[in-house]
Structure 1
């Protein structure tokens, strides 16, 4: 198969003089290496990798340091979604640029027997963070397969519950990242940060309750840490028989607004807790809806803002809606009732992830499993086709959003 670059000929007909020699027989091969790399850096990642398999010049570019630098200058790429299935020994992604499923080679470090049960727990930029059974972490670039094991994690109290795991990459160069963990029982919260620039975990820092915040916590049975909690029609928190995806039990997001780095996570009673790492305080948002409907809830980040996705039941139907907090909760998007009604009475679990203006939603119940992509700008909800692997339909519990960046370093 001929290289794509060789088949591109930039010719233009002159209406009066025939072929213009200035543009005649001009191809990508005529470009100098620097300009050639800059042009290739703008290609969708899948398109570029297809080219590397058939052209020596493109293949050599993939390993070029200057090409990776050119790629780092691209402000954003169409997101890929890493899918999480019960079988963790494979990497399946949904490519939004091509609206197709793809299978990636599993990173070598995650193939090791001691790491086979690593669970993806956070993502940012072009990287995925995995948590080992021991509680330590591995960071990988799913596109290149590169992996790095972080130093062991030591916390002052081993009995503190882990509430949130978030990750942030430096958007300018994709060469550095931070991982933030939030521990503790309300109101005694602490956070701990790993900084890739220093290569070590920083000391724990305590968070105080923000002045004026009301304790929104509710009584609930905490004997089952993996249960999904719903608000019953009687206004009490009850545990469902459905287990939340293990990869999303630390469901949380991070934003940076007005110089304040804020981590948001869901408490066991269903409230949204906002931890301001800059000011070292936390705040509990008021409950989203009156406590008379059962619901499944998740928190996402889109365009630097925290949003809530809520599956609720009311008036004999189910609704899936997106909410934003601005001195109160405001609905900003809703799935058409004709699509959401099928989830009524099924006690579905939703696991969501945001990417730009899009929200990827995995809806799971014992009966059906569906993946939906929501465009917040148009309020368009698209159900994705099923993923077939080796002739079998795959069921996924959750997904993590990342940008396919070959320059992202671990």
Structure 2
């Protein structure tokens, strides 16, 4: 009995598959589940995949669904060539070395927030979309400042607004701790800064990002003292500060405030009866009451260190966004080891895991800057640079 022509065609190339059979909708769905770096590579496979990936609808869909990346930027105050930058993609579970050409190396200030890099000196303030590297200098801040807190928000329009809070300025080479520096909000559309009330006076002695953490949550910009545990929120619509309260669970040594989807999280080191532990608490933003939701496993905590010194925990830092909380050691030990806690959206259950070690040589730094940010696929595809390979640049 002879086989049909269609059967002959299917059997003629048993090891091949025509992706056109899937259709563009199903192909788009499959591609959207790849890590971002794999998506960038897939854009070079064929014309169909390229047309799908470079479409604005696909870029928007992917950017909204991907988990935020964890960034580490190391500054060397003596040799700028020793500066290095890395990003961790939690979905691919790998580190990516970033080209330093993406950054404007400023000794005064550098940070990232919600899709943007920021850099500043006493004279200027600049920003760029993360991983795109196209910098834009703003009109001058009304108050020159070093190491402020910076946030990105939308005021109901599609234009992102930047809020700059706190920081310090130098007078005659000395830090002026008496001036609290007014809050300033920048509108990129008109290139102008709006002056708002300064941080409450309680934060006067520690108003820089070295002593403060911040979180954007439900239309408010929260400021929290890492060691003082003072907390206050700035209403982004009314431009008013709330009363200052103290948020300090028992035994807390230091902590960081993080916005995790529909939760406001406090993450910090607690000295309990059984020794130090790193805990997560969920905060009720109305009452400032706290509920413990997770404790880092002791084995995971101690793998971040290689010494028995009493003050070793002081080098712990914490950042987070969406449902991810990263904890890392900012000292040059085993290339800045880190771990991450993922908070399930529905149940609130927390799962901890070690972040892979950086696989490339890492320099000792005088300062390590860390932050989490969402990633725009459109920025990556629109940038210039190399294809992403292990230990290589993002593009």
TM-score for both structures, normalised by structure 2: 0.70
Partner of 1:380 in structure 2?
A: 351
Check if 1:98 corresponds to 2:92: yes
Once the two structures are TM-superposed, the CA of residue 262 in structure 1 deviates from its matched residue by 0.8
In terms of fraction of residues, the more helix-rich structure is: 2
In structure 2, what is the Cα distance between the partners aligned to 1:50 and 1:142?
19
Check if 1:282 corresponds to 2:242: yes
What's the C-alpha RMSD, in Å, of the aligned pairs?
A: 4.2
Check if 1:312 corresponds to 2:263: no
In structure 2, what is the Cα distance between the partners aligned to 1:331 and 1:186?
36
Check if 1:205 corresponds to 2:163: no
In structure 1, what is the Cα distance between the partners aligned to 2:331 and 2:260?
26
The Cα offsets for residues 21-74 of structure 1, whole Å up to 9 and x where unpaired, read as 8xx987334688798667645543111122245x3527854894xx13331134
Check if 1:149 corresponds to 2:136: yes
Partner of 2:113 in structure 1?
A: 123
- Pairing partner for 1:78 from 67, 73, 77: 67
Once the two structures are TM-superposed, the CA of residue 311 in structure 1 deviates from its matched residue by 1.0
Once the two structures are TM-superposed, the CA of residue 374 in structure 1 deviates from its matched residue by 0.8
Partner of 1:193 in structure 2?
A: 185
Q: Bigger relative contact order, structure 1 or 2, given CA contacts below 8 A and separation 6+?
A: 2
Partner of 2:387 in structure 1?
A: none
**Are the counterparts in 2 of residues 121 and 131 from structure 1 also a CA contact under 8 Å?**
yes
In terms of fraction of residues, the more strand-rich structure is: 1
**Are the counterparts in 2 of residues 351 and 397 from structure 1 also a CA contact under 8 Å?**
no
**Are the counterparts in 1 of residues 93 and 356 from structure 2 also a CA contact under 8 Å?**
no
- Pairing partner for 2:294 from 316, 329, 333: 333
Give the length in aligned residue pairs. Answer: 341
The Cα offsets for residues 271-316 of structure 1, whole Å up to 9 and x where unpaired, read as 12222222323232323135xx572221211104322111132336
Once the two structures are TM-superposed, the CA of residue 263 in structure 1 deviates from its matched residue by 0.8
Secondary structure of residue in 1 paired with 2:255:
strand
What residue ranges of structure 1 are gaps of 5+ in the alignment? 1-16, 210-214, 227-245
Q: Indicate how the Cα distance of structure 1 residues 33 and 319 shifts in structure 2: closer, same or farther if over 3 A, else same.
A: closer
What residue ranges of structure 2 are gaps of 5+ in the alignment? 1-5, 168-176, 384-395
**Are the counterparts in 2 of residues 295 and 311 from structure 1 also a CA contact under 8 Å?**
yes
**Are the counterparts in 2 of residues 80 and 401 from structure 1 also a CA contact under 8 Å?**
yes
**1:260-409 residue pairs with structure 2 within 5 A?**
261-267=219-225, 269-279=228-238, 280-290=240-250, 293=251, 295-315=253-273, 317-326=275-284, 327=287, 328-340=289-301, 345-365=311-331, 369-377=336-344, 378-390=349-361, 392=362, 397-408=368-379
**Are the counterparts in 1 of residues 222 and 233 from structure 2 also a CA contact under 8 Å?**
yes
**Are the counterparts in 1 of residues 318 and 326 from structure 2 also a CA contact under 8 Å?**
yes
